[in-house]
Amino acid sequence: MPLDTSAYSLALLRVDGRRWNELRRIHAQIRTQAAADGSSYLEMGHTKVMCVVTGPSEPGPRRGTAGAGAAGASKAVAEVAVSVVVAGFSSVDRKKRGRNDKRNLELQSTIANALAASLHTHLFPHSVIQVSLHVLSQDGSLLAALINAATLACVDAGIPMTDYVVACTAGSTSTYAAGDESADPLLDLNHQEEQELPGLTVATLGESDRVAVLVCESRVQVGRLEGMLAVGVDGCKQVREILDRVVRDKGKRMVLEGTVAKGEGLEDMDLD
C-alpha cells in the first residue's frame, strides 16, 4: 500500500509523484471510429473514455438519455442527447451501474448542458446530436475526461462550436476536517486523491476564463475555494493546448495522406 495523501507535506509530492500544479499524462486521439460522424478516445492518467457522436440528425424514438437544448414543442435548436455507459470492469470493485443510476443521470445532464453552451445548436433545428460516452477505466476526474472526450468527438463530427469545452479537476492537499488554511491547491485529482481530499470539477470555454461547468461535491472551507478554482481554470487552459494539438496533428496527417484537401483556413497550418 502506498502512502496516503497526508504525506504531501513531507516533500511536496503527491501520491503518484506529481507536484501540486501538474496534470497527469493526457493522451487523446480523434476519428477512432471511421464509421461514426465523430469519435474520440481520451486518457487522463488511468481514466480512459471513448466517445462517439452521431448527428446532427433527425430525432428517432426517444430514449432514456439526458438532453439539453430543445425540449418538447419548440425545436428551434438541436437537442444534445448524452448517454454515459460505465463498463463493469472500469473500476476496481466491478460495481455494476444501472442505466438509471442517479450519478450517471447527473453526469449525462451536466455534459449535455456543457456542450450545449458551446455548440451552435440553433443551426440545426428539429434535430438531435447524440453523444455516446463509454468509460473503460476509472482513476479519478471522470467528469472532466468525459467532457474533454465529448468535445473532441464534436470537433471530429464537424459540428460548429464557439470553442473547445475543456475540463479538469482541482483539489486541496488537506482534508476538510484538518482545517488547514495554508493547504496547497492541487490540479487533476486521481482516484485516491478524490477519495481522501476535497475537490471540484471545472470546465471553461476554451482559453477564456468563462466557466461552463463547476461541480463541487465535497465539503471544503470557502477560503480554499478561490485557490482551487484558479488552479482548475489554469489547468483547463493546459488541457485546451493539448486537445488543440491533437486536432491539428490529426488534420495535418489527413491533409498529408490526402484524405482531405487543404482548404481555406488551413493556410496557417505547418505542413512540413
Partner 1 sequence: MASLKRSVGSDPLAANISSKVYVRSTKSGKVQKIVREVYLRQDIPCSSKLCQSCLKVTPRDAAGRQIPFVLSEAPAGTSVFPQGHYLVPDTNAFLSAMDLFEQSSAFYDVIVLQIVLEELRNRSLPLYNRLVGLTKSEDKRFYVFFNEFRLETHVAREEGESVNDRNDRAVRRAVAWYGEHLARTKAKKGPAVVMLTNDRDNLRKAKLEGIHACSLAEYVKQLKDGDRLLDMIPDTEDRDAIKEKRPNELLYPEYLTMSKMMTGVKSGLLHQGTFNVSPYNYLEGSIRVPAFPKSLIILGRENINRAVDGDLVVVEVLPRDQWKEPSTKVIEEQAITRNENPDAEGDDAVSERERKALQEEAKRTQSKTTEGHAQPTAKVVGVIKRNWRQYVGHIDQSSVIQSAQQGQKQDTVFIIPMDKKIPKIRLRTRQVAELLGKRILVTIDAWDRGSRHPVGHFIRSLGELETKAAETEALLLEYDVQYRPFPKTVLDCLPKEGHDWKVPESIDDPGWRGREDLRGLLICSIDPIGCQDIDDALHCRPLPNGNIEVGVHIADVSHFVKPNNAMDTEASVRGTTVYLVDKRIDMLPMLLGTDLCSLKPYVERYAFSVLWELTPDADIASMRFTKSVIKSREAFSYEQAQLRVDDISQQDELTSSIRALMALSKKLRQKRMDAGALSLSSPEVKIQMESETSDPIDVKTKEHLDTMSLVEEFMLLANISVARKIYEAFPQTAILRRHGAPPKTNFDELANQLRVKRGFELSIESSRALADSLDTCVDPNEPFFNTLIRVMATRCMMAAEYFCSGTQAYPEFRHYGLACEIYTHFTSPIRRYADLVAHRQLAAAIEYEAVGPGVRSRGRLEAVCKNINIRHRNAQMAGRASIAYYVGQALRGKTTEEDGFIMKIFSNGFVVLVPSFGIESLIRLRDLAEPEPEATFDAENYVLAMSGSKDLKVELFQKVRVKVMDRKDVTTGKRGVKMEFVKAY
Q: Which residues bind partner 1 (CB under 8 A)?
A: 1-3, 7, 10-13, 15-22, 24-25, 27, 29, 31-34, 41, 43, 45-46, 50, 92-93, 139, 176-179, 182, 184-185, 190, 192, 219, 221, 227, 231
Pairing of strands 79-86, 128-137: parallel
How many other CB atoms are found less than 10 A from the CB of residue 36? 17
Which three cell numbers mark 3?
502512502
Question: Any alpha helices (H) in 37-141, and if so which ranges?
Answer: 102-116
Shortest Å distance, C-beta 62 to partner 1:
31
Query: Using the 8-state DSSP alphabet, how is residue 119 labeled?
Result: B
Which is closer to partner 1, CB of 206 or CB of 232? 232
Shortest Å distance, C-beta 117 to partner 1:
29
Which is closer to partner 1, CB of 35 or CB of 73? 35
The angle at the Cα of 190, spanning 93 to 2, to the nearest 5 degrees, equals 75
State how far the Cα of 26 lies from the Cα of 47, in Å rounded to an integer. Answer: 10
Which is closer to partner 1, CB of 56 or CB of 185? 185
State how far the Cα of 26 lies from the Cα of 166, in Å rounded to an integer. Answer: 13
Which residues are bridge partners to 26 per DSSP? 44
Shortest Å distance, C-beta 271 to partner 1:
19
Which is closer to partner 1, CB of 140 or CB of 206? 140
Which is closer to partner 1, CB of 31 or CB of 240? 31
Long-range contacts of 266-270 (CB under 8 A, 24+ apart): none
Shortest Å distance, C-beta 78 to partner 1:
27
DSSP, residue by residue, 235-250? HHHHHHHHHHHHHHHH
Closest among 117, 142, 116, 118 to 129, alpha carbons compared: 116
What radius of gyration, in Å, describes the C-alpha atoms of the chain? 19
Shortest Å distance, C-beta 217 to partner 1:
16
Which residues are bridge partners to 228 per DSSP? none
Which is closer to partner 1, CB of 14 or CB of 67? 14
Which is closer to partner 1, CB of 3 or CB of 271? 3
Overall size of the chain counted in residues: 272
Shortest Å distance, C-beta 201 to partner 1:
19
CA atoms within 13 A on the CB side of 196: 17
Shortest Å distance, C-beta 222 to partner 1:
11
